[in-house]
Amino acid sequence: MHMRHAPFVAALVAALGAGPAISQTCAGSGAPLTYPVAKKVDQTDNYFGTTIADPYRWLEDANGADTKAWVDAENQVTQAYLAAIPQRAAIRQRLTQLWNYERYSVPFREGGRYFYSRNDGLQNQAVLYTMTSLTETPRLLLDPNTLAADGTVALAGLAVSPDGKLLAYSTAASGSDWNEIKVRDVATGKDLPDLIRWVKFSETAWTRDGKGFFYSRYDEPKEATKLADVNYFQKLYYHKLDTPQDADQLVYDRPDEKEWGFGAATTDDGRYLIITATKGTAHKYRVFYKDLATPDAKVQPLIDNFDAAYDFVDNVGPVFYFVTDRNAPRQRIVAIDTRKPQDANWKTIVPESAQTLVSAHLVGDRLIAQYLADARSVVRIVDLKGKPVREVALPGIGSVAGFTGKRGDRETFFSFTGFTTPTTIYRLDMKTGASSVFRQPKVQFDPNDYETRQQFFTSRDGTRVPMFIVSKKGLKLDGNNPTYLYGYGGFNVSITPAFSPANLAWMEMGGVYAVANLRGGGEYGEAWHEAGTKLKKQNVFDDFIGAAEWLVANKVTSPAKLAIGGGSNGGLLVGATMTQRPELFAAAIPQVGVMDMLRFHKFTIGWAWTSDYGSSENPEEFKALVKYSPLHNLKPGTCYPATMITTADHDDRVVPAHSFKFAATAQAAQAGSNPVIIRIDTKAGHGAGKPTSKQIEEVADRWGFLTKALNVDTAPTVAGGAE
Active site annotation includes 615: no
Q: How far is residue 178's CA from residue 90's CA, in Å, rounded to a whole number?
A: 36
Query: What pLDDT is recorded for position 75?
Result: 95
Candidates 710, 637, 643, 583; CA nearest to 23 is 583
Query: What pLDDT is recorded for position 16?
Result: 24
Where do the structural domains in the chain lie, given as residue ranges?
Answer: 31-97+445-709, 355-443
Active site annotation includes 377: no
Instruction: Identify the active-site residue in 399, 471, 568, 659.
Output: 568
Rounded to 5 degrees, what are φ and ψ at 592?
35, 50
Candidates 496, 535, 538; CA nearest to 519 is 538
Query: What pLDDT is recorded for position 26?
Result: 65
Query: What pLDDT is recorded for position 295?
Result: 85
Say if domain 31-97+445-709 classifies as CATH 3.40.50.300: no
Query: What pLDDT is recorded for position 1?
Result: 28
Give the sign of the dihedral formed by CA 146, CA 149, CA 151, CA 152.
negative
Query: What pLDDT is recorded for position 719?
Result: 67
Query: What pLDDT is recorded for position 184?
Result: 98
Query: What pLDDT is recorded for position 219?
Result: 95
AA identity, residue 250: L
Query: What pLDDT is recorded for position 717?
Result: 78
Query: What pLDDT is recorded for position 534?
Result: 98
Rounded to 5 degrees, what are φ and ψ at 618?
-105, 125
Query: What pLDDT is recorded for position 27?
Result: 56
**pTM for this prediction:** 0.92
Whole-Å CA distances, 289 to 340, 460, 662 = 14, 46, 45
Query: What pLDDT is recorded for position 681?
Result: 87
Candidates 62, 157, 77; CA nearest to 117 is 157
Helix, coil or strand: residue 179: strand
Q: How far is residue 259's CA from residue 608's CA, in Å, rounded to a whole number?
A: 8
Q: How many CB atoms lie within 10 A of CB 233?
A: 14
pLDDT along the chain (723 residues), means of 10: 30 29 52 93 98 98 93 96 96 96 97 97 96 96 93 92 98 90 98 97 96 97 86 97 98 96 97 96 95 94 96 97 97 98 97 98 98 98 97 95 96 98 97 96 94 97 98 96 98 97 96 98 97 98 98 98 97 98 98 97 93 98 98 98 92 88 98 95 74 94 98 79 34
Instruction: Identify the active-site residue in 283, 529, 601, 686.
Output: 686
